[in-house]
């Protein structure tokens, strides 16, 4: 049976909403899309909930109009700003000597429980990069294997609770509930990486308007993520200052003449900032020098981040660049030189049914990646923001999650007990009722059966607390 999903990519300069239909075989067909200018956001994080919700609502309404459908919940991207990552591990015994989903769920939650997550942070993703069955390392998929012990090493991505709550509020104010939250760099990696790159390991850099998100994908999972506050708008600002021209004109110059190849000596006429009627001539060589300096600096910052990761030897497929920044001519050649001759590929989102021409642009990798995530494009196993373990073989129609999100304000437990999250809302309500019934009803049998002092003390303690 087809299910319809809504994906909202909240970027630093634009908001993109996509509505898609996903079949039972996880093939996706885009049926609606809407794009609006991002407001109330700074470097990918929400700074004004009201303005941000207006931007989201605008994109959402356009997508609904095209698709002709109404949706109540969405998967939303979150910027890498204010995220922290750490590695953790877990180990469990296998009572029946065969590894089932229950054991994998248990070991993943154990690694989450063992992680030292600060109180003001909430888990976004727990991604396993190494399963160990007994003493055998790097098991791709432990499901169904015979073993006495299962270990896992996970990369855990966390974000500030305030950042997550503000995102939820802005989306809710636009009229939809947040079904799931995905790191934007992770979504971009899902959209652009091919099978060979996943196998060999690669760094994915989504270079946007004001920010760049980096993830290193190795061992069928993300091993490292970083966020840089640099993007193509910095080139616009530099051009505006260097050429003494308004920002809008500087942006047009960047789009029309943005090239890193050898410049010509041609002159272009530009308006002067502060005086709309006056114009002055500028050499394209000056434009080239300004753009080259900023792009070189940006790529050097990215190279430093990749070096800092300590995972260069895990990047056999090199670096994959995506995002609006990558449309500058000559970027790939300069990147190869700065990244010490590593392979560099400029990537657009991989093809998908009904993909509108607009969405084939590299600046929509994150939005397309969110749809692919909902169609099962995530890593084979993962604990998501709802503490629910997603896996490649799970039933696609896991829709009770919408109910789970109605209890957003009560999710402040960083290390939740290792129980499957979907039934939790119902379970909590029942638990409260059952505890009352036990306390009220337990008084009679206590007196009838003349219990020993330990039982009496236990009943007294449960009533008290």
Number of domains within the chain = 2
Domain boundary among the residues 318, 348, 378 is at: 348
Once rounded to an integer, what is the mean pLDDT over residues 271-293?
A: 89
In a domain, 416, yes or no: no
The reply to whether 332 and 436 lie within a common domain is no
Asked if the structure places residue 150 within a domain, the reply is no
Which range (53-62, 413-422, 446-455) has the least confidence? Answer: 413-422
What tens digit of pLDDT does each residue of 327-370 get?
999 999 999 999 998 999 999 998 888 877 888 899 999 999 99
Residue 100 near residue 191 (C-beta atoms within 8 A): no
Strand partners, 433: none
Shared-domain flag, residues 210 and 309: yes
Both 343 and 438 in a single domain?
no
CATH number at residue 333: 3.30.420.40
Note whether residue 326 is domain-resident.
Answer: yes
Domain boundary among 332, 348, 364: 348
- Asked whether residue 332 falls in the same domain as residue 217, the answer is yes
The predicted model gives 427-443 an average pLDDT of: 37
Q: Is residue 139 part of a domain?
A: no
- The reply to whether 228 and 314 lie within a common domain is yes
Answer yes or no: is 219 within a domain.
Answer: yes
Task: Please tell me whether residues 434 and 315 are part of one structural domain.
Answer: no
DSSP code at position 320:
E
Domain region containing 204? 196-348
Residues 295 and 435 occupy one common structural domain? no
Q: Is residue 183 part of a domain?
A: no
Do 310 and 437 lie in one domain? The reply is no
Task: Return the pLDDT at 446.
Answer: 37
Q: Residue 196 and residue 184: Cα distance in Å, rounded? A: 22
Q: Note the pLDDT tens digit of each residue in 174-221.
A: 999 999 999 999 999 999 999 899 889 999 999 998 999 999 998 778
Residue 270 lies in a domain: yes
Mean pLDDT, residues 92-105 taken together:
92
| pLDDT score, position 348 | 92
Residue range 364-418, pLDDT digits in tens? 999 999 999 998 887 789 999 999 998 876 664 444 333 333 333 333 333 434 4
Looking at the structure, tell me whether residues 224 and 343 fall in a common domain.
yes
Let me know: does 216 contact 223? Beta carbons within 8 Å. Answer: yes
pTM comes to 0.82
Which domain-ending residue is among 322, 348, 374?
A: 348
Nearest one of 324, 332, 250 to 291, comparing CA atoms: 250
Do 445 and 333 lie in a common domain? Answer: no
> Distance between CA atoms of 155 and 151, rounded to whole angstroms?
14
324, 362 in Cβ contact below 8 A? yes
Query: Is residue 89 in a domain?
Result: no
- How far apart are the C-alpha atoms of 81 and 164, rounded to whole Å? 11
> What CA–CA distance (Å, rounded) separates 1 from 3?
7
Q: What's the chain's average pLDDT? A: 84
Q: Specify whether 316 is located in the same domain as 446.
A: no
């Amino acid at each position: 049976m087809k299910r319809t999903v809504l994906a909202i990519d909240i970027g630093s300069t634009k908001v993109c909403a996509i509505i898609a239909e996903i079949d039972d075989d996880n093939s996706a067909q885009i049926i609606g899309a809407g794009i609006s200018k991002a407001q109330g956001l700074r470097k990918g994080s929400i700074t004004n909930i009201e303005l941000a919700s207006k931007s989201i609502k605008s994109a959402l309404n356009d997508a609904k109009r095209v698709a002709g459908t109404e949706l109540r919940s969405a998967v939303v991207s979150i910027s890498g700003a204010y995220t922290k990552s750490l590695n953790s591990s877990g180990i469990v015994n296998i009572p029946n000597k065969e590894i089932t989903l229950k054991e994998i769920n248990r070991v993943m939650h154990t690694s989450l429980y063992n992680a030292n997550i600060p109180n003001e942070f909430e888990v976004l993703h727990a991604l396993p990069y190494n399963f160990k069955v007994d003493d055998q390392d790097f098991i791709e998929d432990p499901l169904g294997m015979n073993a006495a012990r299962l270990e896992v090493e996970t990369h855990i991505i966390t974000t500030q609770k305030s950042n997550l709550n503000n995102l939820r509020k802005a989306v809710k104010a636009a009229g939809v509930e947040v079904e799931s939250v995905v790191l934007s760099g992770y979504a971009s990696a899902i959209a652009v990486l091919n099978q060979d790159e996943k196998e060999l390991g690669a760094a994915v850099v989504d270079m946007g308007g004001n920010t760049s998100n980096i993830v290193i994908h190795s061992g069928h999972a993300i091993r490292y993520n970083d966020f840089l506050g640099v993007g193509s708008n910095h080139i616009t600002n530099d051009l505006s200052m260097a050429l003494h021209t308004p920002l809008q004109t500087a942006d047009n110059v960047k789009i029309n003449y943005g090239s890193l190849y050898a410049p010509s000596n041609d002159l272009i006429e530009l308006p002067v900032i502060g005086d709309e009627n006056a114009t002055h001539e500028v050499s394209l060589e000056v434009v080239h020098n300004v753009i080259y300096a900023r792009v070189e600096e940006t790529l050097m910052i990215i190279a430093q981040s990749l070096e800092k990761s300590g995972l260069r030897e895990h990047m056999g497929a090199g670096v994959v660049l995506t995002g609006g920044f990558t449309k500058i001519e000559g970027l790939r050649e300069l990147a190869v030189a700065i990244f010490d001759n590593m392979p560099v590929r400029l990537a657009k989102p991989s093809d998908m049914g009904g993909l509108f021409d607009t969405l084939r642009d590299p600046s929509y990798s994150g939005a397309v990646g969110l749809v692919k995530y909902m169609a099962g494009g995530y890593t084979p196993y993962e604990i998501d923001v709802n503490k629910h373990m997603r896996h490649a073989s799970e039933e696609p129609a896991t829709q009770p999650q919408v109910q789970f999100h109605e209890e957003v304000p009560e999710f402040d437990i960083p290390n939740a007990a290792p129980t499957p999250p979907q039934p939790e809302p119902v379970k909590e309500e029942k638990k409260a009722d059952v505890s009352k019934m036990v306390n009220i009803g337990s008084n009679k049998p206590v007196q009838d059966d003349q219990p020993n002092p330990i039982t009496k003390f236990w009943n007294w303690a449960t009533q008290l607390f």
